[in-house]
Amino acid sequence: MNRIEGVILDWAGTAVDFGCFAPVNVFVDIFKNAGIEVTMEEARAPMGMLKIDHIRAMLSMQRVSALWEAKYGRAFGEQDVERLYAEFEPALMVSLSEYTDPIPGVIEAVEALKAQGLKIGSTTGYTSSMMEVVVANARQKGYSPDVYFTPDDTRSQGRPYPYMIYRNMEFLELSASWKVVKVGDTVSDVKEGVNAGAWSVGVAIGSSEMGLGLEEFHALSESDRETAITKTEETFINNGADFTIRTMSELPQLIERINGMLAEGKRPGIQR
């Protein structure tokens, strides 16, 4: 039967941690400790990747790389990546439990999807040890997907590789990638879905891509909110997303729309 069988959600910035702030502040801090002042935009750009890959991507940015060479008189090396990551992980673990509140509307959306008979998987840029903290705290607050996989389960081949999605499909017994919807809040999430051959959906409000906290977002004027949403949605579409949604509350209705497209023989990628 040509219908969506499962939905695979990202965690921070999609399901929990509105604005995805837990890792961002730590990235800024560890670079500051190394004598390099990075911007919030630079810290967010690789978001969604395995965190050591994220650090490597930041060091590879032209401006950050130049600052590093000016500071240390040499290009960064793998030992620098590992040293920064060794500082990053324990710092993140200290604060991680504080950033596990489900984003408004997520619990209700997931309940609606499960009522439709859909299986709920998840992928993340966090390691398995980080996810033990996130999953336990989110469960206490009412959010619990059927399963989660981390880059530790795919030999550290995290996003934008599709392997975490494939592990979800295997575990949840989803029969084809085009019967799967991947939802996330970063460019790497979108690319993960595209590379897996799934329907790739970007969620705008609460996303790392938008980069605003809950209070910051609601403090904006209506026109400024619309501008921020539109900019975020355009970024997702430009990176291959099949669809964008403003909030997770729109997802059950989007699933029905995709089911209609599948019935017509359409497949992911038609929007690109």
For the stretch 192-248, pLDDT in tens is 999 999 999 999 999 999 999 999 999 999 999 999 999 999 999 999 999 999 999
189 given a catalytic annotation: no
Least confident piece of the model among 43-57, 102-116, 166-180, 258-272: 258-272
Which of 184, 180, 189, 127 lies closest to 161, judged by CA?
189
**Per residue in 74-84, pLDDT tens?**
999 999 999 99
Buried b (16+ CB within 10 A) or exposed e, 138-151: beeeebbbbebbbb
Query: Distance (Å, rounded) from C-alpha 209 to C-alpha 202?
Result: 10
Tell me what the pLDDT averaged over the chain comes to.
97
Quote the pLDDT of residue 272.
44
The pLDDT value given to residue 270 = 67
Helix ranges (H only) for 96-221 are 106-115, 128-140, 163-172, 187-196, 214-219
Q: Is the pLDDT of residue 90 over 60?
A: yes
- When pLDDT is cut at 50, 70 and 90, the band that residue 133 belongs to is very high
d(CA 67, CA 198): 39
Judged against a pLDDT cut of 90, whether residue 24 lies above it is answered with yes
**Sheet of 199-203, strands arranged across:** 119-122, 6-9, 180-184, 199-203, 243-245
| Residue 112 annotated in ligand binding | no
What angle separates helix 22-33 from helix 78-95, to the nearest 10 degrees? Answer: 130
Return the ∠ at Cα 186 (arms to 200 and 65), rounded to 5°: 135
Q: What is the DSSP letter of 127?
A: -
Distance in angstroms (rounded) separating the CA atoms of residues 189 and 47:
9
Supply 243's token pair: 């669809």
Paired with 4 in beta bridges are none
Residue 53 annotated as part of some ligand binding site: no
Backbone torsions φ then ψ of 201, nearest 5 degrees: -125, 130
R_g of the chain computed on alpha carbons: 18
> Is 153 known to sit in a ligand binding site?
no
- What percentage of the chain has pLDDT greater than the value 70? 99
Of all residues in the chain, what percent carry a pLDDT higher than 90? 99
Going by C-alpha positions, the residue among 208, 192, 105, 93 that lies closest to residue 151 is: 192
Question: Nearest to residue 136, comparing CAs of 18, 7, 11?
Answer: 11
Is the per-residue pLDDT at 93 higher than 80? yes
pLDDT at 1: 83
Phi and psi, residue 140, nearest 5°: -65, -25
Query: 17, 51, 189, 242: which is the annotated catalytic residue?
Result: 51
Query: For residues 28-42, b (16+ Cβ closer than 10 Å) or e, as one string?
Result: bbbbeebebebeeeb
Q: Is the pLDDT of residue 60 over 60?
A: yes
Beta bridge partners of 12: 16
Distance from the Cα of residue 89 to its chain's centroid: 18
Would you say residue 177 has pLDDT above 90?
yes
Which residue out of 10, 17, 53, 242 is catalytically annotated?
A: 10
Q: Which domains does the chain have, with CATH numbers?
A: 6-20+100-263 (3.40.50.1000), 22-98 (1.10.150.240)
CB 60 within 8 A of CB 67: no
Does residue 182 surpass a pLDDT of 50? yes
> Would you give the DSSP letter of residue 112?
H
Residue 10 known to be catalytic: yes
